[in-house]
Chains A and B, each alone.
Chain A
Amino acid sequence: MTEFTTVTAPRLPSRERIVKWAPLLVLAFLILLFPVFEWLEDFRGGEDHFYLLDSRFFSIRNAARVAIAATPALMVALGVTFIIIMGSIDLSMEGTVSVTAVVFAFAFLAMGGTLAGHAWLAIPLALLVGAAIGFVNGVVHVKLRIPSFMASLAMGFVGTGLALLVTGGDRVRVEDEWFRSLLTVRWFSFPVMCYVALLALLAAWFIQSRTILGRNFYAIGGGEDLAKASGLNVERVRIMGFTLAGVFFALGALMAVGRIGIAETVTGKDFMFISITAVVVGGTALWGGIGGVWNTLVGVLIVNVINNGMVVIGLPSFLQDGVLGLLVIVAVVLSTNRKSISFVK
């Protein structure tokens, strides 16, 4: 008698599944790539070098360095993630970060200048200011029917302008020991700000996956007409989205001030391009409906690992911008499922 056995072919991972995990694979590849250069250098110099173990890049100390650099950008990128999931865009982050940082610093100093006293009130105040700017941003976008790109870009100018107006171009120093412990106190090698960022990340994840608001972001991004037809108050969700983004930008501002101890008009500089690049590299689509906060975490880490790795392996500084640009393109190409889209703008 012959027994029939069903032969199951080894399950190949589907293309969709690879694409879904592509950003994480890119991150892992990068983390393993930079130590290779270190190994090569020592190998050429005839020194003993055990791959990974002797790496300066692949060490806890350097991981903390990457995490510190990534923290403010992660907060900003999380905020804009919600907007991008809706298929809109928010370019007001530079202005919002600057103005909330400056307001925070002035309020903090005015209320005694130490977290041990009443000055902790400056933190909720900064978050409120961020929310208010985001709210205005959303209202201008929705009620005046100006596309979010333009509305938020102009709001960004207003924000930077407000920061300049308040400071008169001066730097404001926040030197309180308690506040600076965000950076100076370390638990398990990582400074406190990284744990705060982790909490914010979990909060963002909760909003995205466990609240009606979060589901509504995806509904709008997946198809606004459909969402509207099924009775969703799209305008309200949009305004709430921009308000929420403003709160996360304010968190980014607090982290940025915590990191360098200074609030000024240029505190928000460069956040715009870095955060949106990170969101896209992480696999969240600019046309909405796809991606989420974990993608953004991976995207921010990819960008920061590239930046850090290039410095560690001693790449000439004039090359670093270009290499970052090319690697970003490669990362986006790898994490795009070409079969699911017909074109991009």
Chain B
Amino acid sequence: MFERLKPHFPWITLFALAGIVGAANPSFFNPGGLALLVSDIVPLFIMALGMTFAIYIGGIDLSVQQIANMVTVIATVFLAPLGIGVAVVAIAAGLAFGAAAGFVTSRMYVPSFVSTLALGFVALSIAKWLSGQRALSMDAAMREESFAWMFGVTAGVPHEMVIAAALLAFAWFLQSRTRFGRALKAVGAGELAAVASGIGVDRVKIAAFAISGAFAAIAGLMFSVKLSGGDANLANGFLLLAIVAVLVGGTPLTGGVGGVLNTAVGTLIVMVIRAAMVYLEIDATQQQMVFGLVLIAAIALTIDRSKLRGVVK
């Protein structure tokens, strides 16, 4: 019984946390407020969604925050000449950075922790160079014309949530319904066995990091449009939260376990914890510590230890 419940711990944790917050302050369940909370977390969710692919194969992507930073600048600078085409440039830039990180990791044997961190610094340099190290703002008319659809509301559903759901469906399809997805799982579960069974491991890894980069770029684009501007530091603070969202969802760093649906739950858990600070009126100086403590509890609850093969490093 207990064993069969284990895979569902992330969901249960989410609902338990939401229940606690709601019980303490019923206004938490106000639909309008909830929709606002969820749409606020969408850029973080998209970033975490991409990161899931890197963690699923047992790596990590520390470049996502800097890629998003770079994209906010790219989007702001090139919106005027390119219009909506700037989205293509932004996503291509993210893909290229991710693929480069995958190449450096798989072909040059630099651990992804270092390769993605280092390439993130390169992205930061590009962001600083393009922005002239200033905070830029978007051309309001162009923004309205090209990207107003991103933040509309249809039948009470914010478009951001629709975009997030579409990306989640796409990521889920990639992970669960394609050969690439099977290969990802094989690489995450045991790289040597994957090599032995004839999978092009290097290509799979490069693709995984490229997806992570592309999703980070989409997150950066949405963030930029939302705040109507770009800056080399705009997305700072996203990186650790994105990692936390993936981990709390139950995708451990050992790879091969978990997946994009877990990340959706993980992001919602992060959202509830952060909202709880506001709804339970926790003092600003205590929030960070409470966040850390709840995080340890949440990870201890959600992680499925039976799937952590062998030793826990």
Contact = CB atoms under 8 A, between A and B. Distances in A.
Interface of A: 86-89, 95, 140-141, 144-151, 153-162, 164-165, 168-169, 224-225, 273, 276-277, 280-281, 286, 288, 317-326, 328-329, 332-333, 336, 338, 341-345
Contact of B312 (A145, A155, A169, A333): A145
A95 B244 CA distance: 16
B243 A318 contact: no
Nearest to B253: A149
B120 A325 contact: yes
B295 A157 contact: yes
Contacts of B295: 154, 157
B285 A154 contact: no
**Main DSSP-derived SS at the A contact region:** helix
Contacts of A164: 285, 288-289
A329 B104 contact: yes
Contact of B114 (A87, A153, A328, A342): A328
Chain B contact residues (Cβ within 8 angstroms of A): what range?
A: 35 or more
Contact of A344 (B110, B240, B252): B110
Contacts of A323: 125
B121 A146 contact: no
A318 B125 contact: yes
B305 A318 contact: no
A129 B305 CA distance: 30
A273 B125 contact: no
Given A157-B288, A165-B286, A336 B243 contact: no
Contacts of B287: 161
B285 A169 contact: yes
Interface string B287-313: 111111101100110010100101111
Which 8 pairs across A and B sit closest by C-beta, in order of nearness?
Answer: A161-B289, A322-B125, A157-B292, A325-B121, A161-B288, A158-B292, A318-B128, A325-B118
Contacts of A158: 289, 292-293, 296
16 contacts: A146-B303, A147-B252, A153-B244, A158-B293, A161-B287, A164-B288, A225-B310, A281-B114, A321-B128, A322-B124, A324-B118, A325-B117, A329-B118, A329-B119, A332-B110, A333-B110
B112 A345 contact: yes
B243 A153 contact: yes
Contact of B255 (A286, A338, A341, A345): A345
Interface in B84-122: 104-106, 108-115, 117-122
B58 interface: yes
Contacts of A148: 312-313
B129 interface: yes
B105 to A, nearest CB: 6
B201 interface: yes
A155 B110 contact: no
A277 B117 contact: yes
Contact of A161 (B119, B290, B299): B290
B213 interface: no
B122 A326 contact: yes
Contacts of B104: 329
A107 to B, nearest CB: 19
B217 interface: no
A322 B114 CA distance: 13
B285 A329 contact: no
A292 to B, nearest CB: 18
